[in-house]
Amino acid sequence: MKSKFGSIFKGELKNSLGSIILLLSLVILWDLYLYLRRDSWDITLVFVLSFLPIIFLPFYALVSGFYMLREEWRKKTITHLLSLPVKGIALTSIKLLTIWIETVIFIVVIFIGVIMFSKIALLEPIPNQVLWQLGIILSIISILVAILSQFAYLVGRVFRYGGWLISIWTFLVTGWAIIRYSGLLVPYLSFVPNFQLNGWYLSGIWQYLGDVSALQAIKIHGPTTLAFFLSFFVIFLLGSWILEKYVIVPTGEIKHESE
């Protein structure tokens, strides 16, 4: 099973190479554009705009969650994958791991630009702790969105007709249900401690320009956070089970990756 997992994972990474190159190119072009505008625009604005590609990360994860699975159906490789001695959870995990790797690469390249512009715009460099925390938060958000989009797509594939409409509604309703009802788990998770994050990226650069009243820390409620994550984990397991047991696979000739 390990060899099959590795083989499938390598195939996913190979297929994602084009997306990675595209993402890197877009971020580099954006940073180059900002660099050329550094003398004509306010340098603080240039620094703030260097963060702009970050807002596309959740959208990219959303699209990738749908697209990676859709390609398996379009190429009819899903029939071959489900015939292998690999569980559904392994297949969905491979997809998520690939999205996570793409996201991390995207974040690293964005942060390289941010660090470059911060040295021009700020009196002091951005604390490394801030970049680490922000990077982790962004990667987690991307994975959660990808889990939800994967689940929605797989639910749509259970039905022979109206799959896309069902997937869209599943995505919206499931997201709403998690936000609305994950709090029911909080009383059972009261043992989880609270924690805090560096609030630098919320207060902007103003604390570095002398604003001592800027927010220094963001307090996170541990039980609520864990309940939220557990809800997504359940959705992930449910989606993997649906993939393994209930999806309608395409009929006809099976197209393998080597073709």
- pLDDT tens for 10-66 read 888 888 888 889 888 999 999 899 888 888 888 878 888 888 888 888 899 999 888
| Spatial distance between the Cα atoms of 146 and 183, rounded to a whole number of angstroms | 21
- Could you tell me the two tokens for 113? 């630009």
- pLDDT tens for 115-138 read 888 777 765 667 777 788 888 888
State how far the alpha carbon of 91 is from the alpha carbons of 52, 68, 94, 114, 152, in Å: 32, 11, 5, 35, 16
| Beta-ladder partners of 220 | 195
Average pLDDT of every residue of the chain: 82
**What pLDDT does 135 receive?**
87
pLDDT band for 162, please (50, 70, 90 cuts).
confident
What does the domain layout of the chain look like in residue ranges? 2-173
| Beta-ladder partners of 219 | 196
Q: Residue 150 belongs to what H/E stretch?
A: helix 128-156
| Spatial distance between the Cα atoms of 74 and 249, rounded to a whole number of angstroms | 10
Whole-model pTM: value is 0.83
| Beta-ladder partners of 217 | 198
> Of 36-45, 93-102, 159-168, which one has max mean pLDDT?
93-102
Q: What is the mean pLDDT of residues 99-104?
A: 91
| Spatial distance between the Cα atoms of 255 and 74, rounded to a whole number of angstroms | 9
**What pLDDT does 199 receive?**
58
**What pLDDT does 128 receive?**
73
